[in-house]
């Protein structure tokens, strides 16, 4: 299949728009707690939709799986499970460190490693020195943009909650280490897709076009991610004794389903964009996906009034961060040739 940089970037942009807004419906919950929403979200996004897409778009699906070794199936599954653990650690890190610091550590490391690991492990021989320099510079500018944006967000939080604790607290060092561990594991979903391409290639051998074959990878990788997410949701439901809330039909279920559709739709489009971007799709594509997701989430926050009363310095840092992310987009796109 012929590669197309404009098509790849367009699909990645759309994926970023969907992913950046996938948590927005949670703001409108009426009666559900986090654990109710997350349980339904996990079932919809990690099980139902991936299997529906795979069944509907990939011919000879189980024949493709049966032709692969246990190792070829275990790699994406285990990377998916690692990402699922990172999802749980993300919630704990935000609770202990605050959104600003936790987001900077986790998203920064996730974007950095998710871009560079597939590049150096899978594609280093295919990249010339000039392109590699553009990619590395783009990654550096991306991290700078993430840092500036999260710094601005941290200052906004401190202005809005002046009595909130800041600085080292009990268990602070452990909380930082948890955030770093989460950041190291967060890009494992991309590793699951990148190192699970044997599945897609086998689907192509059986007559599927590359765009559709990519959908065969997600059910395996996301099944691994489902286990930690559903386990943590069930733990919270039991600990908080909030199971009875499910006895009453609530419109909040539609919000959770919408979240799942947006999230999985974003990763389905990312998988397609990786095909259009060519050999470096799982590297450059991941970096672009993270940039567009962060910018979308930030602009959604501005649109919903989160930054209305923020101090001027916070808004300036946010604007500089968005400029850097835009520049990083151009550099990463230039490196994908």
What pLDDT digit, counting tens, does each position of 242-279 carry? 999 999 989 999 999 999 999 999 999 998 888 888 87
How many Å apart are CA 296 and CA 284, to the nearest integer?
A: 18
Number of independent structural domains in the chain: 1
Q: The tokens of 314 are what?
A: 């916070």
Question: What is the model's pLDDT at position 152?
Answer: 82
Question: What is the model's pLDDT at position 110?
Answer: 81
Provide the 10 A C-beta neighbour count for residue 88. Answer: 18
Of 210, 204, 230, which is closest to residue 273 (Cα–Cα)?
A: 210
Kindly state the DSSP code that residue 48 receives in the 8-state scheme.
I
Q: Output the pTM of the full model.
A: 0.81
How many Å apart are CA 290 and CA 64, to the nearest integer?
A: 30
Q: Are 199 and 79 a contacting pair, CB within 8 Å?
A: no
How many Å apart are CA 264 and CA 44, to the nearest integer?
A: 9
Which residues, 6 or more positions from 22, have their beta carbon under 8 angstroms from its beta carbon? 259, 262, 263, 266
How many Å apart are CA 182 and CA 187, to the nearest integer?
A: 9
CB burial string 277-289: b at 16+ within 10 A, e below: bbebbbbbbbbbb
CA atoms within 13 A on the CB side of 334: 17
Secondary structure tally for the chain: helices H, strands E: 15, 0
How many Å apart are CA 201 and CA 72, to the nearest integer?
A: 11
How many Å apart are CA 246 and CA 271, to the nearest integer?
A: 34
How many Å apart are CA 146 and CA 305, to the nearest integer?
A: 20
How many Å apart are CA 17 and CA 300, to the nearest integer?
A: 10
Of 274, 202, 217, 196, which is closest to residue 54 (Cα–Cα)?
A: 217
Instruction: Spell out, as residue ranges, where the chain has pLDDT lower than 70.
Output: 1-2, 91, 94-104, 123-124, 160-172, 336-337
Q: The tokens of 279 are what?
A: 């050999």
Question: What is the model's pLDDT at position 42?
Answer: 94
Q: Are 227 and 81 a contacting pair, CB within 8 Å?
A: yes
- From the CA atom positions of the chain, what is the Rg in Å? 20
Between CA 32 and CA 172, with CA 106 as vertex, the angle to 5 degrees is: 85
CB burial string 209-228: b at 16+ within 10 A, e below: eeebbbbbbbbbbbbbbbbb
Residue 198: domain span = 5-243+251-335
Q: Which residue has the tokens 């989160």?
A: 306
What Cα–Cα distance (Å) separates residue 288 from each residue in 42, 90, 164, 174, 320? 25, 21, 34, 31, 18
Kindly state the DSSP code that residue 310 receives in the 8-state scheme.
-
């Amino acid at each position: 299949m012929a590669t197309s940089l404009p098509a790849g970037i367009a699909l990645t942009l759309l994926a970023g728009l969907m992913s950046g807004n996938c948590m927005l419906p949670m703001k409108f919950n009426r009666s559900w707690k986090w654990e109710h929403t997350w349980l339904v979200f996990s079932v919809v996004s990690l099980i139902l939709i991936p299997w529906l897409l795979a069944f509907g778009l990939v011919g000879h699906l189980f024949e493709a799986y049966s032709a692969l070794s246990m190792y070829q199936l275990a790699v994406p599954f285990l990377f998916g499970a690692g990402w699922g653990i990172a999802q749980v650690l993300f919630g704990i890190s935000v609770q202990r460190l605050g959104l600003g610091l936790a987001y900077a550590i986790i998203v920064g490391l996730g974007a950095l490693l998710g871009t560079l690991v597939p590049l150096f492990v899978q594609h280093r021989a295919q990249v010339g020195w000039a392109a590699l320099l553009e990619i590395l510079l783009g990654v550096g500018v991306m991290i700078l943009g993430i840092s500036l944006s999260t710094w601005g967000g941290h200052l906004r939080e401190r202005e809005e909650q002046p009595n909130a604790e800041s600085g080292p607290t009990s268990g602070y060092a452990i909380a930082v280490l948890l955030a770093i561990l989460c950041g190291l594991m967060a890009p494992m979903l991309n590793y699951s897709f990148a190192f699970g391409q044997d599945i897609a290639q086998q689907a192509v051998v059986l007559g599927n076009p590359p765009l559709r074959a990519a959908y065969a990878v997600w059910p395996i990788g996301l099944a691994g991610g489902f286990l930690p997410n559903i386990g943590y949701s069930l733990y919270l439901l039991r600990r908080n004794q909030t199971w009875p809330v499910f006895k009453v039909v609530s419109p909040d279920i539609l919000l959770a389903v919408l979240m799942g559709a947006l999230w999985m739709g974003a990763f389905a489009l990312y998988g397609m964009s990786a095909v259009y971007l060519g050999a470096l799709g799982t590297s450059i594509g991941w970096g672009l996906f993270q940039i567009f997701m962060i910018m979308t989430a930030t602009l959604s926050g501005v649109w919903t009034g989160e930054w209305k009363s923020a101090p001027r310095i916070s808004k300036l840092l946010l604007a500089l961060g968005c400029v850097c992310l835009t520049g990083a987009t151009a550099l990463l796109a230039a490196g994908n040739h």
